[in-house]
Amino acid sequence: MWLTMLQLSDLPTEEILQRFAQRYPEADVTAIASFLMLLRVATDLSMALDACLSKHDLLQGRWWVLILLMREQDLTSQPSVLAEKLGVTRATMTGLLDGLEQGGLVQRESVPQDRRSVQIKLTAAGQAKLDAVMPDYYSRLRLCMQGLSERQRSDLQSILGVIDRGLSAWDFHQ
Amino acid sequence: MWLTMLQLSDLPTEEILQRFAQRYPEADVTAIASFLMLLRVATDLSMALDACLSKHDLLQGRWWVLILLMREQDLTSQPSVLAEKLGVTRATMTGLLDGLEQGGLVQRESVPQDRRSVQIKLTAAGQAKLDAVMPDYYSRLRLCMQGLSERQRSDLQSILGVIDRGLSAWDFHQ
DNA sequence: TTGACATAATTAGGAAACTAATTATAATGT
DNA sequence: ACATTATAATTAGTTTCCTAATTATGTCAA
């Protein structure tokens, strides 16, 4: 799904927020500000991740698939399972796997027990690609987060947990 | 830019993170967990926003453009300025404006002073669309964030600020 | 056993973003 | 004045996602 977001510098000023709140009494100014800042920073992080991956000829979607495969004991999974975990459609997963297979990073293997199904296996080249990318990614992430104390990290996670649980209320409103 | 993210239920377990940290000593486990949770919740929020907007026949990109126009005193701006603020290319903005103009929500007006340029104006229909959407969006956002104290909201914003400033270190690492 | 339904993966076609090239106009320096 | 360069918007073509339809296979119940 696309995430298009205002630049950090163009988040609404206090004054603009007040103006909107005046027209729309439903507005909760601090909720809006927190929400926008959250989307903004997540977008920046995601773009930074893209930039890092692109230096290794990878795109985020394909990279996530490699990681999911590496998590498995036998480095193997199924397209439908991968799609579910990644939150994309099966059609999209077919495309991601096509790209990865073409690059030799994964391999499709037929499953005798269920001939509708396919096993996806991380190849040696796929593992090597991860071994090249992950240290780079982890180093950058460490630097990027080093300004946060352990206390702040756990605060962040619990705050995010509250928001995520609050999200269930989103849909029930009509 | 696309943001594809693991489902919340499929964020790495403590055990998986430890396994990755063992293979990649660069890994900072709490940094990774916070990062993934942040992307995850932002993705959920963005999808919830999409769902809300789609009930009003709007997509996020176009909706942001309407909001940017409403912020202006004269409800008017230029494609290049809008593109800059939204963080999309001018080509993308042309497409967004095409869609909005077709729906009668904005209007292109020529600028005598500079005939290369175009003024984009929010129409009455565009303002009416916002007046229909914003109360719905603000109500949901209020509900979704109501579990957070004011203290937590400001904590969140300062933590996000630290991360965003930390992001500048991302690119300097090679 | 066979008809109805469910499931796995893919294909086909469409939407919306991107980059790069194009068109038109403005600004600048010699 | 006029050639060069810069700027505003658009068009053309590619990518990757989506939904819906398709193909193939498996499951289950009458």
The answer on pLDDT for B7 being more than 80 is no
Could B42 and A44 be called an inter-chain contact, meaning their C-beta atoms sit closer than 8 Å? Answer: no
**Confidence label for B169 from pLDDT (cuts 50, 70 and 90):** confident
A3: CB within 7 A of chain D nucleic strand: no
pLDDT of res. B14: 92
Q: Residue B106 CA to nucleotide D8 C1', Å?
A: 19
Which chain B residue is nearest to residue A47, measuring alpha carbons? B1
Q: CA B48, CA A9: separation in Å to the nearest integer?
A: 24
Could B162 and A148 be called an inter-chain contact, meaning their C-beta atoms sit closer than 8 Å? Answer: yes
Q: CA B34, CA B20: separation in Å to the nearest integer?
A: 16
Q: Residue B115 CA to nucleotide D6 C1', Å?
A: 15
Q: CA B46, CA A141: separation in Å to the nearest integer?
A: 23
- Unique residue bearing structure tokens 């510098």: A9
Higher pLDDT, B85 or B171: B85
Residue-wise pLDDT tens digits, B92-110: 999 999 999 999 999 999 9
How many residues are given for chain A?
A: 174
Nucleotide nearest to B77 (CA to C1'): D8
Could B31 and A141 be called an inter-chain contact, meaning their C-beta atoms sit closer than 8 Å? Answer: yes
Which A residues 101-120 have CB within 7 Å of strand D?
Answer: 113-116
CB-nearest partner of B148 from A12, A60, A162: A162
CB-nearest partner of B138 from A24, A140, A156: A24
* Contact call for residues B146 and A23 (beta carbons, < 8 A): no
A88: CB within 7 A of chain D nucleic strand: yes
pLDDT of res. B170: 80
pLDDT of res. A7: 76
Nucleotides of D under 7 A from a protein CB: 7-13, 16-21, 24-27
* Contact call for residues A157 and B37 (beta carbons, < 8 A): yes
Residue-wise pLDDT tens digits, A116-134: 999 999 999 999 999 999 9
Going from the C-alpha of A100 to that of each of B42, B110, B129, the distances in angstroms are 27, 48, 43
Q: CA A1, CA B112: separation in Å to the nearest integer?
A: 39
pLDDT of res. A2: 58
Token pair for B55: 């009930």
Q: CA B88, CA A2: separation in Å to the nearest integer?
A: 12
Residue B71: CB atoms within 10 A of its CB come to 17
Contact list, A163 vs chain B (CB under 8 Å)? 41, 45, 144-145, 147-148
- In sequence order, the 6+-apart residues with CB closer than 8 A to the CB of B103 are B57, B125
Could A162 and B155 be called an inter-chain contact, meaning their C-beta atoms sit closer than 8 Å? Answer: no
Going by C-alpha positions, the residue among B49, B143, B72, B63 that lies closest to residue B105 is B63
- In angstroms, the separation between the Cα of residue A164 and the nearest Cα of chain B is 6
Q: CA A46, CA A39: separation in Å to the nearest integer?
A: 10
Nucleotides of C under 7 A from a protein CB: 7-13, 15-21, 24-27
| Tens digit of each residue's pLDDT, chain A (174 residues) | 556 677 777 889 999 999 999 999 999 999 999 999 999 999 889 989 988 999 999 989 999 999 999 999 999 999 999 999 999 999 999 999 999 999 999 999 999 999 999 999 999 999 999 999 999 999 999 999 999 999 999 999 999 999 999 988 887 665
pLDDT of res. A170: 80
Residue-wise pLDDT tens digits, B24-60: 999 999 999 999 999 999 988 998 999 899 999 999 9
Segments in chain B forming alpha helices (H): 14-23, 29-54, 60-71, 79-86, 90-102, 124-145, 150-172
- In sequence order, the 6+-apart residues with CB closer than 8 A to the CB of A151 are none
Q: Residue B95 CA to nucleotide D26 C1', Å?
A: 46
Interface contacts A/B by beta carbons within 8 Å: 288
Residue-wise pLDDT tens digits, B122-154: 999 999 999 999 999 999 999 999 999 999 999
- CA B109, chain centre distance (Å): 27
DSSP lists the bridge partners of residue B93 as none
The answer on pLDDT for B87 being more than 80 is yes
